[in-house]
Amino acid sequence: MRLAPLLLAGALVLTACGGDEDDGSAPVTSALADEGVEGVVAFNVTDNSHVEGTVEYGQSPPVGGPHNPVWANCKFYDDEIPNENAVHSLEHGAVWITYTEAADEATLDTIRALIDQSDHILASLYPSQDSPIVLTAWNRQLALDSIDDPRVVQFLETYLLADSAPEPGAACSGGAG
């Protein structure tokens, strides 16, 4: 099987040609996370710089990247919030729960109860997401059909204030919102 070594060599050459510097334009890779929560997608975002204005993110909701210098306060929001402020909260180790307009009052009450359990959880409307509920931490994301899924608790236990965030434990109050 001489073809297999040639394909492997070609893949290594293509990977090596990507460049060494992270200027924010490098593609973000993703794969299933290995921390034990089924279905969590792991991303590799390394740029956590502060920027002004709108940022074009590769994920929706975003999982990290350049963001506004002011974080979003960790609380429940009835409406959308700027991605750039929410990403700053993720940098601080927060978990961002997003929901669509289809969320019923029981779902919203459950989300509010989760927020009451930690000062590093925020939730907001995100109408353009593909799943009814999405949980996001820095470089990690889980799309769900229901807030009652047992993986919600697993996600929070695994990623809330995780060391994988650039600034875990930094303030999640006193910002925007």
Residue numbers of the domain that contains 43: 22-159
Higher pLDDT, 87 or 23: 87
Task: Tell me if 113 is assigned to some domain.
Answer: yes
Task: Tell me if 153 is assigned to some domain.
Answer: yes
Nearest to 71 by CA among 56, 89, 95, 58: 89
Task: Tell me if 177 is assigned to some domain.
Answer: no
Task: Tell me if 164 is assigned to some domain.
Answer: no
pLDDT, tens only, 95-116 = 999 999 999 999 999 999 999 9
Task: Tell me if 175 is assigned to some domain.
Answer: no
Q: How many domains does the chain have?
A: 1
Nearest to 99 by CA among 80, 82, 117: 80
- What's the CA gap between 59 and 1, in Å, rounded? 39
Task: Tell me if 103 is assigned to some domain.
Answer: yes
pLDDT, tens only, 129-147 = 999 999 999 999 999 999 9
